[in-house]
Amino acid sequence: MDRTFAMVKPDGVQRGLVGDILSRFEQRGLKVVGLKMLWIDEDLASRHYAEHVGKGFYQKLMEYITSGPVVAAVLEGKNAVQIARDMMGKTNPMEAGPGTIRGDYGLEIGRNVIHGSDSPASAEREIGLFFKPEELQDYEKIDAIWLYE
């Protein structure tokens, strides 16, 4: 099984979308193995968005992601990274298809409700930034036999 990182951003938390978003992942068959609410500080934000340092939108991104609480999750399942990315839709909500999280809930790229790892390597790095190993749970769900061959 693969793991991926997903984060409901401050706008998603403020709009009361956490439950709806998490339930979409669970209904699809992804298992929540880590979950926490936190307020990201400057240090964590700068490590999380290190690849964007020097880009024109970096400062606004830092201000936004540290502006309110977020909900961080680790999701598990076969092809979890790709499944979660497909469910989120394109980064720009105006280009995200209907039925995707960003397509259904977002209007602007700077308020696109959710972040998700874009590769298995990113997932491993991001999970390590937000979760200690002992905060992740290994368990069997009773529906696994109905999800996977």
- List the 31-38 sheet strands across, edge first: 31-38, 70-77, 2-8, 114-116
10 Å Cβ neighbour count for 36? 12
DSSP 110: T
Tokens encoding 140: 């069997």
State yes or no: is 115 an active-site residue: yes
In whole angstroms, give the CA distance from residue 15 to residue 21.
Answer: 11
Distance, in Å, from the CA atom of 8 to the CA atom of 116, rounded to the nearest integer, reads 9
| Selected catalytic residue, list 65, 72, 115, 130 | 115
Residue numbers annotated as active site: 115
